[in-house]
Amino acid sequence: MKSNKMLLVFICSILLIFTQSHLLSFTYEVIFTETVDSGGSHVNYNTNIQNRFAELASQAKYNMDCHFFQINFSRISNALMDAANRGVKIRIITDSDYYNSVCSNLDAHSNIIVINDEKTNIYKSGSSESHNKFAIFDYYYSGDSPVKYKVWTGSFNFGSGVSGYEGIDNPHEENVIIISNQKLAEAFTREFCQMWGDTNSENYTFEYNSGESKFHNSKVDVISSYNLHVINDGDTTIEVYFNPQNMLKDKIIEAINSANYRIHFAINMFTYDEIKTALINKHNEGVLVAGIIDQSQSSNMLSQLQEKIGEDYIRPAGKLYKMLHDKYIIIDPGYSLSDPIVITGSANWTPAGIGGNTSGKNDENIVIIHNLAVSLTYYDDFYSRYLRYGGKELPAVFSPPEFQKFYAQKVNSFIKLFWELPGIDLELQALIKNIAIYYSTSSFPSSPSEGTLLTNFSITNYSAQKEGSYEHKNVYPNTRYYYSAFLYSVGGSYSVSRDSIVIFQPSSEGSLADNYIRPEDYSTVELYFDNQLPSEVKVYSADGSLVKKIVPEREDKIEWDLTNEKGKKVSSGLYIIVYEIDGKKEYKKVFVVR
């Protein structure tokens, strides 16, 4: 059944991923590990995150700043070494518990320095974690660079201890967002420089200054004085905060309290009672709350939320697909009249991760993105995983536009299907995923399960694919084909358009069998013309009486609905269709059986 439409006034300003970055513009790319039941070009599903990071590193021209909880994948270390061999300066911070031989080998390169949160370049266990997973590319480069001002953040660790794989085979469930924005890159760079001991972040300083270096509870809110917590870029707002100098818990609860319609989340570790209370309160207000929680990390919180919100909506994750390592929440996805929000980053919902200076001690980050398209991108991932873990089906959050045109046409011995999509704003184009066309010889498929799939393809460039066609070959004459075209958006909703056609092949010289029609199967005679179309067509009965005049309504065919001039169905018998092209009369015989 077609999804119900919702009244949406779109006021976002986001560009497609892989668009060229602009110094002050917000462009983004999202990567989710694990294949989910979703398509489209706006998200990289089942992409090897290591390869994507290595690709960005290969494009860097001057400097990279990396703060990763773990680094021990050879693919990453090789990519960093390759960049350093090209002369790129690389500063790396990692957690002291995970400073290993890979870090030592990197640190030995003259263009790489690796330190940990114990302010050393050796292993030294500490009680606090330097838990960030971010990188900034070419922030200090004065020339043009394809990765300039790119910020990488999310849940993914480059180490097997947490992320669980060296390649792509059966990884944990993770997300990475890569944002191109100069101000955001400045905010992350100033935070990095605080930990690096670089007191003059305006100019690049490669050497590490342990005397000025600050980690954990010694850090201060360095980006506040530069007004970098809230970055406005057209209709998109990005907020960025760091633990423990900012109270991340309060920012998450503030977003939850702003929800008017829906809240969805995927979280690894969740122990904060205040967030639990905020979610339950919103549920009691009538807001739709649904989430997935890693059961190996947060079983107590899982059972408490299931009791208050319902087991159908709060689902245990991670058991069948390794660990759910995501740390994101989505507020009002698709509701631009509200404030669609995504919060993601490195922070688990624990006192150490988001508790601020009162209880938080980990180095963490979150980004809060106010944007409709980003909210729907994350919802697409969430909903697929949520259903996989047995969640109850949720209402659609976004319905794509109707087809401008969709019709079938006979071309030689096959049927050609044509479509045209309406013109829509660029930011909405990013929400359209794919077109699927189904057919049947009995009735219009009202849902994909009712027809045979003819073609299914992703919309990778809306403007270029707004008009298109597809050839249905190996079709049978005198058979009506019913076609339904489904236009899908992120979130799984769709619009549908329909058309039907018969390849009817009457002959002026052939036998009556060539012109045999069964009105109980279909009730229209259709004749197709590849070139010139007659201006008028007349239908006569066998005794020569005029039955009906037909004026063609389409450029490629004429239709007779088996009625006379008064609109009444004709009786059984032989009928002659007469038309003229280039001064030559043509005759087609039709034998109707009632």
Band (517; pLDDT cuts 50, 70, 90): very low
Residue 162, pLDDT score: 46
Distance CA 252, CA 262 (A): 15
Choice between 241 and 502, residue whose per-residue pLDDT is larger: 241
**CA-based torsion, 438, 443, 449, 451: positive or negative:** negative
| 230 and 198 within one domain | yes
pLDDT at 325 over 70: yes
Band (274; pLDDT cuts 50, 70, 90): very high
| 424 and 291 within one domain | no
Backbone angles phi, psi at 112, to 5 degrees: -130, 135
| 536 and 486 within one domain | no
Residue 273, pLDDT score: 95
Give the tens place of pLDDT for each residue, 466-485: 999 999 988 887 788 899 99
Choice between 117 and 318, residue whose per-residue pLDDT is larger: 117
Can you tell me which residue has the tokens 């660790």?
157
341-345: strand order across its sheet: 230-233, 236-243, 364-370, 341-345, 327-331, 262-267, 288-294, 314-317
Structural domain contains residue 279: yes
The separation between CA 569 and the C-alpha centre of its own chain, rounded to angstroms, equals 51
Mean pLDDT of 372-391: 90
Residue 37, pLDDT score: 43
Structural domain contains residue 91: yes
Residue 10, pLDDT score: 24
Choice between 524 and 81, residue whose per-residue pLDDT is larger: 81
Q: Is there a cis peptide before residue 477, judged by omega within 30 degrees of 0? A: no
Residue 323, pLDDT score: 83
| 206 and 116 within one domain | yes
Count up the domains in the chain and report the number.
3
pLDDT at 46 over 70: no
Residue 133, pLDDT score: 97
Range of the domain at 444: 405-502
| 378 and 316 within one domain | yes
By C-alpha distance, which of 137, 135, 157 is closest to 146? 137
Residue 266, pLDDT score: 96
Give the DSSP letter string of 151-192.
EEEES--BSHHHH--SSSSSPPB-EEEEEE-HHHHHHHHHHH
Give the tens place of pLDDT for each residue, 47-92: 678 889 999 999 999 999 999 999 888 889 999 999 999 999 999 9
Q: Look at the chain and count its residues.
A: 594
* Identity of residue 422: P
Choice between 290 and 493, residue whose per-residue pLDDT is larger: 290
The separation between CA 15 and the C-alpha centre of its own chain, rounded to angstroms, equals 13
Residue 503, pLDDT score: 65
Distance CA 571, CA 585 (A): 25
| 190 and 65 within one domain | yes
Rg (CA), the chain: 31
| 473 and 561 within one domain | no
Structural domain contains residue 199: yes
Q: Among 388, 413, 430, where does a domain finish?
A: 388
Band (12; pLDDT cuts 50, 70, 90): very low
Q: Among 502, 523, 543, where does a domain finish?
A: 502
Tell if the pTM clears 0.85, that is, is over it: no
Specify the CATH number for the domain of residue 185: 3.30.870.10
pLDDT at 141 over 70: yes
Q: Among 453, 474, 502, where does a domain finish?
A: 502
Give the tens place of pLDDT for each residue, 340-355: 999 999 999 999 999 9
Choice between 168 and 316, residue whose per-residue pLDDT is larger: 316
